[in-house]
Structure 1
């Protein structure tokens, strides 16, 4: 009987590794604030209304008689698709937010996100160049911020949205201190 290579013990550790999951074992993830669900839902709703208004233009033109050369079903389909897309996006918003997490380890910071396309980013403290904390007007209204980590590789940034403002300030200071300490040791 052939065994699945994804669940065979690794040669150096002797434990079972399941290749279907990319989360490291034994990591306790810190989750973003629950209020971020509302912030994210507001963004989805506003974006959906904009797309609904844009896609409704052919329908308005068809109903007023200006647009007569195309079938009416097409004019109804465009805003229908925009509405269905927005509703589906709103339904999965809570799950998307619950998938966002971060974990501070001894030598690096882990950041994860995504439902269908999962991503776990490992940022070594010694590679961090600076840490940004950003607050837009909606974030500020909910007492949240976004922490963004910039690394030595210009194309790599790790973002942790929906963090409480106090936690964001703590992360900025702690990660900056750890980055400086690891960089000095190089």
Structure 2
């Protein structure tokens, strides 16, 4: 008995294999050099930090107030964007102690003149001075928090004042002298005053109440930036 091949019946149809559905491969964007770039990692553009931004370190903000207090009036000068550095907290104590000593001296002198000489009208000028000193003592903590300075790309901006506000922008290229001064009371609290001298006397800026190490760092930074931005007077 011989094995015969299986005969194909007319009812049987060949089964067509369906091709697998394939999605078009996503083309990766290529970098300018021809190498494919990873779409999941976006590299920010490389920017070189300016010399002024190098001074904005934690040393300028150690022991300072947290933020600048603005006047409440609608017509106040806006603070603007950027990082503002403030004065050291010890500045308030220095001002309170110095104004308090002056208050006691004026009061003692008026009492001595009144008791020894018997001049009663001495209380008129002494009273005016004492009232001014008392107001100064009261507003000193609020006034100290209105000071601030900002290091921008081309200039230093300084602001101060509550009732009489002042905002000064000093270009780095116009600086001629950076001076640091501090008296005995300032040295006792570890603060100093940094003064910027320019060709125009009206644009000079004196920043009080800066910590001594921060003042020295800021001085060196401003001198280095001023040399690179030097312009004709």
More helix by share: 1
Normalised by the length of structure 2, the TM-score is 0.62
Q: Which runs of structure 2 are paired with 1:95-114 in the superposition (5 Å)?
A: 95-114=142-161
CA contact (8 A) 1:23 1:120 kept: no
Distance 1:174 1:112, change over 3 A: same
Deviation at 1:22, TM superposition (A): 2.0
Which of 191, 196, 215 aligns to 1:149? It is: 196
- For 1:90 and 1:19, locate their aligned partners in 2 and report how far apart those are by CA, in whole Å: 26
Query: Is 1:168 the counterpart of 2:218 in the alignment?
Result: no
Q: How many equivalent pairs are there? A: 161
Cα deviation, residue 34, structure 1: 0.5
Larger Rg: 2
Tell me the equivalent position of 2:94.
39
Q: 1:125 aligns with which of 172, 177, 198?
A: 172
1:152–1:77 distance in 2 versus 1, CA, 3 Å: closer
Q: Which residue among 15, 20, 23 is the counterpart of 2:75? A: 20
| Larger strand proportion of the pair | 1
Structure 1: distance between partners of 2:232 and 2:133:
49
Q: d(CA) in 2 for partners of 1:83 and 1:152?
A: 38
Shift of 1:149: 0.3
Counterparts of residues 69-108 of structure 1 (less than 5 Å): 72=120, 74-108=121-155
**Bigger CA drift: 153-162 or 130-139?**
153-162
Q: How far apart are 1:179 and its partner, in Å?
A: 0.9
Unaligned 5+ segments in structure 2 are 1-72
1:133–1:148 contact (8 Å) kept in structure 2? yes
- 1:106-147 per-residue CA deviation (whole Å, 9 max, x = no partner) reads 111011111111111110111111111112111111111110
Query: Once the 2 structures are TM-superposed, how far is the Cα of residue 169 of structure 1 from its aligned partner?
Result: 0.5
Q: Is the 8 A contact 1:52 1:82 kept in 2?
A: no
Q: Verify the 8 A CA contact 1:146 1:159 in the aligned structure 2.
A: yes
Structure 1 length-normalised TM: 0.76
- Output one character per residue of 1:7-47: Cα deviation in whole Å (capped at 9) or x when no partner: xxxxxxxxxxx982223421332110001000011121122
Contact 2:168 / 2:203 at 8 angstroms: preserved in 1?
Answer: no
Indicate how the Cα distance of structure 1 residues 151 and 140 shifts in structure 2: closer, same or farther if over 3 A, else same: same
CA RMSD across the alignment: 2.5
